[in-house]
Amino acid sequence: MFRCSRTSQATVRGVIRTERPGSNGLRVHASVGSRVNSSNSARRQTILVTREQGKNGKLIRELQSANLDWIELPLIESVRRADSEKLPQVLVDRRFQWVVLTSPEAATVFLDGWRSAGQPKVSVAVVGAGTGEALRGTGLEIGFTPSKANAEAFAPELPMREGCGRAVLYPASARASTQLQDGLEQRGFQVERLNTYSTVPVSSLDSDALRAAEGADLITIGSPSAMKAWAQLADPRAVRRMPIACIGSTSAKAALSLGLTEVYFPEEPGIEGWMEAI
């Protein structure tokens, strides 16, 4: 587990270290002695989970196994973009050395387009286990996963295979940075990026649910979009007070960019490392 705070940044083994100068889907789980239903001073911690609706199950199960209470309040939702409608025809018209997928949602949107295109043969590279899990049982085989689940590892490690051309299809969030495609293009790949979806703050959020969430002991953040949504939606005092456990360094950097100081994240993104950060 690594703690990050703001200013004088240095990177050590991929970990940011700094020195500080000076009613939308709310679900609550608590047991006797927890903060939700007891005023006892000796209480279990309550963790706020914030991923999109339907994507918090694994983390919640881990929290339950660790005897932690939790509140679920999805802060973001996905919306399809116009490029998602182009995807089937692109798959019919072109052949790609790789299709690169960097999130479970990107994989889900890609699968819809791939099926509409008649399930053509493609070679898929995924950023990590969570994205690969979204492809399970689909008939698609994963041809490559980088040593670390981030663009810094993905771009230089993606194999360039002989006789397969240099075209790479990158169905991505409109909010994703250009780091991966820039790194691939610098190596000679020809990247076709399609912004097939985007993540936005939830369209409606019950004020009572938000106030309950602001009383949690720690918030979990699974993406920069969720971090930004929390900062926009929550009381600034709660945002500053609550420690943040991020799934990986990308989300942690988003928290730091907002001036927040108590930020934790694992070196290896994923549920197991996330729990260590919590």
List of domains in the chain:
2-75+202-277 (3.40.50.10090), 80-198 (3.40.50.10090)
Q: What is the dihedral of CA 201, 176, 278, 131, to 10 degrees?
A: 110
What is the chain's mean pLDDT, rounded?
85
pLDDT over threshold 50, residue 190 = yes
pLDDT over threshold 80, residue 22 = no
Q: From CA 152, how far away is CA 127, in angstroms rounded?
A: 11
Q: What is the phi/psi pair of residue 217, to 5°?
A: -85, -25
- Average pLDDT, integer, range 33-37: 32
Q: From CA 190, how far away is CA 186, in angstroms rounded?
A: 9
First to last CA, the chain: 8
Look at residue 267 in the predicted model and tell me its pLDDT: 82
What is the model's pTM? 0.72
pLDDT band at 42 (very low <50, low <70, confident <90, very high): low
- Average pLDDT, integer, range 37-48: 63
Task: Give yes or no for a contact between 102 and 131, defined as CB atoms under 8 angstroms apart.
Answer: yes
User: Which tokens sit at 213?
Assistant: 């969430």
Look at residue 53 in the predicted model and tell me its pLDDT: 87
Q: Taking the CB of residue 257, how many other CB atoms lie within 10 A of it? A: 12
Look at residue 54 in the predicted model and tell me its pLDDT: 86
Look at residue 39 in the predicted model and tell me its pLDDT: 37
58-83 pLDDT, tens digit each: 899 999 999 999 999 999 999 999 99
Q: From CA 176, how far away is CA 106, in angstroms rounded?
A: 11
Residues in the chain, total: 278
